[in-house]
């Protein structure tokens, strides 16, 4: 079989099985094994597959993922996220715009501890959606706002997507965490501005359903909720303050955060033995899923290295490599389109091994590119035809997806215009803090 025919056959393999609904890890693993067999022959398997699988599973950067997941799961099992929203509701004074801002902030924190934009958007849609309606936002806009808040999890550390990017590119994850803070804050400010000027308000519904001030205060944050809020703030300060201050590595910070969350949740009586066991099981499940996906991606990358496909693509893209700005714009457009169809981890695992040679040849800062990539993928998750985060929020709230997509598209388009231009004009937004990391 000719080399060109093998490449086309493997490409068709991936497309057909993805459209058939097969798991991405299974598709990549099968494509990699079949591609290597056709390209080199069966003799190469003895010295490559086991070695690649072991190397990927034992990579230090991946070992920190279960630590952050366990910390997140303990906070979720302890009901901390609900208390965070209650405190935010109380601080907002039960007013419409401040409550919308509190939803965005809570969504960012929820995503930061859950690591999944889809899951955080679904949870927030059921928790915050009715409250947003009660203060006067329309139902589709309320659900859309929870989806927008959930999408922030992709760029707010400790984002799983950032960890995966760091593992694939061998870029220090601590630098990526710190570098994402500036763009995440800028994106959140853009969303707050959009909320203020473009909020879809139903004044009649607000007037009919508004509670009295006394009734609202009666539902306010309890001391238990306030203590949970303070605990999360201290926990985030310890973890990320330790990383930025050079006191601990990102792996040590994950272990410290998991231990502090365990002690705090037990001391406050928020988790029992069953909750701890469930948190461990859920953390192992997600970690195993990610490890299998990474092993499959490594096997597929091995096939691409045999086929020299990235090198051929690099030669084909030489005009773009000579113009880094145009290269970045083309790559960001491609990642955005992929994000509208695929889940965020799938998008980055499929794309990074192919496009990184071009990025490195163009001399683009890999930290800046990683943060920009995660941001653009977060926008794709809000955009049809699939838009997984927006669709997840609409499904959880039992609301038609069409009206939910419209505000999401407006917010994401404005954020794309402002943040992308700002980051390309001032790369220091993503690179200044990592350059000062000890």
Per-residue pLDDT reduced to its tens digit, 88-134: 767 766 678 888 888 888 777 666 555 566 767 777 788 778 888 88
Region label for 308, one of left (φ > 0), alpha (ψ between -120 and 50) or beta (otherwise): left
The residue ranges of every structural domain in the chain are 40-435
Token output for 57: 């599973």
C-alpha span between 285 and 373 (Å, rounded) = 26
Count CA within 13 A, CB hemisphere, residue 204. 0
Residues 194, 145, 76, 180, CA torsion sign? negative
Quick: pLDDT tens for 208-225.
555 444 445 445 557 877
DSSP state, residue 210 = P
Please state, as a whole number, how many other Cβ atoms lie within 10 Å of the Cβ of residue 260.
17
User: What is the per-residue pLDDT for 194?
Assistant: 93
Distances (CA, A) of 141 to 108, 115, 265, 412, 429: 18, 24, 34, 14, 30
Token output for 217: 């205060």
User: What is the per-residue pLDDT for 438?
Assistant: 60
User: What is the per-residue pLDDT for 44?
Assistant: 66
Q: With 70 as the cut, is the pLDDT of residue 264 above it?
A: yes
User: What is the per-residue pLDDT for 427?
Assistant: 94
In percent, the amount of the chain with pLDDT more than 90 equals 21
What distance separates the 2 farthest-apart alpha carbons in the chain? 78
Q: With 80 as the cut, is the pLDDT of residue 354 above it?
A: yes
* pTM score: 0.84
Determine the average pLDDT of the residues in 271-292: 88
- Is the link from the previous residue into 158 a cis peptide, with omega within 30 of 0? yes
Please state, as a whole number, how many other Cβ atoms lie within 10 Å of the Cβ of residue 20.
8
Nearest to 10 by CA among 354, 262, 263, 341: 354
Please list, in sequence order, all residues whose beta carbon lies within 8 angstroms of the beta carbon of residue 438, skipping any fewer than 6 positions away. Answer: 244, 245, 246
C-alpha span between 408 and 404 (Å, rounded) = 7
Nearest to 379 by CA among 199, 163, 151, 111: 151
Let me know: does 284 contact 277? Beta carbons within 8 Å: no
Token output for 190: 């853009």
What percent helix, strand, coil does the chain show, rounded to 5? 80, 0, 20
Residue 168, phi then psi, degrees to nearest 5: -70, -35
User: What is the per-residue pLDDT for 1?
Assistant: 67
Quick: pLDDT tens for 6-45.
888 888 998 888 888 788 888 888 888 888 888 887 766 6
Quick: pLDDT tens for 382-404.
888 778 888 888 888 888 888 99
Nearest to 378 by CA among 159, 167, 189: 159
Nearest to 173 by CA among 300, 76, 59: 59
User: What is the per-residue pLDDT for 405?
Assistant: 92
Nearest to 349 by CA among 227, 211, 168: 168
User: What is the per-residue pLDDT for 353?
Assistant: 83
């Amino acid at each position: 079989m000719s080399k060109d025919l093998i490449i086309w056959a493997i490409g068709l393999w991936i497309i057909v099985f993805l459209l058939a609904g097969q798991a991405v890890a299974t598709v990549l693993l099968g494509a990699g094994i079949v591609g290597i067999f056709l390209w080199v022959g069966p003799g190469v398997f003895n010295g490559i597959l086991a070695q690649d699988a072991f190397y990927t599973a034992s990579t230090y950067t991946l070992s920190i993922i279960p630590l952050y997941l366990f910390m997140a799961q303990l906070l979720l099992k302890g009901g901390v996220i609900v208390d965070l929203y209650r405190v935010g509701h109380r601080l907002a004074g039960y007013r419409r715009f401040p409550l919308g801002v509190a939803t965005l902030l809570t969504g960012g924190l929820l995503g930061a501890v859950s690591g999944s934009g889809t899951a955080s958007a679904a949870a927030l849609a059921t928790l915050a959606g009715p409250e947003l309606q009660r203060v006067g936002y329309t139902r589709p806009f309320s659900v859309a706002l929870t989806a927008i808040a959930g999408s922030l999890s992709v760029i707010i550390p400790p984002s799983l997507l950032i960890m995966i990017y760091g593992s694939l590119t061998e870029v220090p994850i601590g630098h990526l965490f710190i570098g994402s803070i500036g763009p995440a804050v800028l994106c959140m400010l853009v969303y707050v501005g959009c909320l203020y000027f473009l909020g879809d308000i139903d004044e009649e519904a607000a007037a009919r359903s508004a509670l009295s001030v006394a009734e609202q205060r009666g539902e306010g944050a309890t001391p238990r909720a306030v203590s949970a809020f303070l605990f999360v703030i201290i926990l985030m300060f310890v973890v990320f303050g330790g990383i930025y201050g050079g006191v601990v590595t990102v792996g040590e910070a994950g272990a410290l955060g998991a231990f502090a969350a365990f002690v705090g949740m037990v001391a406050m009586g928020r988790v029992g033995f069953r909750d701890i066991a469930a948190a461990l099981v859920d953390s192992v499940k997600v970690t195993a899923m990610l490890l299998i996906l990474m092993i499959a991606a490594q096997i597929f990358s091995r096939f691409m290295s045999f086929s020299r496909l990235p090198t051929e693509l690099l030669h084909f893209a030489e005009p773009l490599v000579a113009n880094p700005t145009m290269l970045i714009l083309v790559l960001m457009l491609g990642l955005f389109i992929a994000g509208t169809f695929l889940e965020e981890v799938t998008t980055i695992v499929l794309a990074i091994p192919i496009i990184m040679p071009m990025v490195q040849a163009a001399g683009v800062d890999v930290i800046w590119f990683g943060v920009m990539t995660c941001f653009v993928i977060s926008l794709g998750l809000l955009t049809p035809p699939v838009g997984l985060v927006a669709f997840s929020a609409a499904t959880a709230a039992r609301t038609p997806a069409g009206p939910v997509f419209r505000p999401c598209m407006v917010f994401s388009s404005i954020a794309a215009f402002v943040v992308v231009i700002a980051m390309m004009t001032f790369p220091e937004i993503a690179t200044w803090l990592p350059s000062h990391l000890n």
